[in-house]
Structure 1
Amino acid sequence: MTDHREVAMVVWPGQTPLIEDCLAALLADYHLRTEAEKGEPVADVAGLPDRYRAEITDPRTAFADDLVLVALQGDIAVGCLVVTSPANGQSEIKRLWTDSDFRGRGIGSALLGAALAHAAESGADRVRLSVWEWRTAAIALYERLGFTVTQSWDERKRLVCMQRSV
């Protein structure tokens, strides 16, 4: 596992255009891999559903009300995560993704730790997330951090909904 001091967290927007390009690349990888894992592979970003394509092409608008964290190792963007502003005492974590070349180094844990701290500072009592059931390593990480499976709020099959108190 990487020493977390080697991973810098930057809040986006507010950073250089390089961060925006890196965030778009991470989100594209996330969505393309997810579609392939669901058995609905697409060749490129143009084949993604509109809402996912919008996150990649215009993250500033897509995440206008959210906090976006980008993990950097040196000048390389290696992971990202989106956490929503609290609504009714609850924030949601979305789009946790670590570049496959950098997995197993604590980057996901560092992103989640920063997101949970932000949610608490923002007044959230709970944080929720959803994850595809085949992403067992992610589920194990969430469980290690205190998330538990809860009643689904999403109609998509094979989606696991989890939450934890902050």
Structure 2
Amino acid sequence: MTDHGEVSVVRWPGRTPFVEDGLPDLLAAYHLRTEAEKGESVATVDGLPDRYRAEISDPRTAFADDAVLVALSGGATAGCLVVTAPADGRSEIKRLWTDPEFRGRGIASSLLGAALAHAAESGAGTVRLSVWEWRTGAIALYERFGFVVTESWDDRDQLVCMARAV
């Protein structure tokens, strides 16, 4: 567990059972907001693509080989991030999300710092991520953590790919 003031970052699944309930809610909010930002707004989780619904309904299976980090603030699940298991010397960061109610408290920074530490401990030499170009706040955060724009490995329009050494 990493503690940054009132924010704690725990690896899930772990010894905090209430995270079990909060993680699917965070993932649902992330995917619903992302689809809306892409102009493909859906009203409920049922309207999301199958792969996203699978993450929400059963994150334990969807992320079985990955590390899922959950930020807790005052006993509530406040944010999440997924770090993939290293493959070919690199890990990938996915699903960074802070509940809007908890933004501005350093939660995303705490999650990102814990993710980089986890990737290093797991043997990754590089960490990469992709972010939508309109998420300028997230891009600025990644840049503060040393990520730089790199050649894209994904052909989706408006997706920025970034990487950094661990």
Q: TM-score range by the shorter chain?
A: over 0.9
Task: Tell me the residue number matched to 1:149.
Answer: 149
1:6-21 alignment, distance < 5 Å = 6-21=6-21
Matched, 1:25 2:33: no
User: What is the CA distance between 1:20 and its match in structure 2?
Assistant: 1.6
Code of the residue aligned with 2:134 in structure 1: it is W
Letter in structure 2 aligned against 1:113: G
- Normalising by the residue count of structure 2, what TM-score does the alignment of the two structures yield? 0.96
Deviations 1:109-137, CA, capped at 9 Å, x for gaps: 00000000010011110000000000000
SS of alignment partner, residue 86 of structure 2? coil
User: Which ranges of structure 1 fall in alignment gaps of 5 or more residues?
Assistant: none
Q: Which residue of 1 aligns with 2:92?
A: 92
The size of the alignment, in residue pairs, is 164
- How many angstroms apart in 2 are the aligned matches of 1:102 and 1:60? 24
Kindly provide the amino acid, as one letter, of the partner of residue 52 in structure 1: Y
What does 1:1-166 correspond to in 2, within 5 Å?
4-166=4-166
1:19-67 deviation line (CA, Å, top 9, x unaligned): 1210000000000000000000001000000000000000000000000
Q: Mean Cα displacement is larger for which, 85-94 or 16-25?
A: 16-25
Query: How many Å separate the matches in 2 of 1:16 and 1:112?
Result: 20
Deviation of 1:102 (Å): 1.1
* CA RMSD between the two structures: 1.1
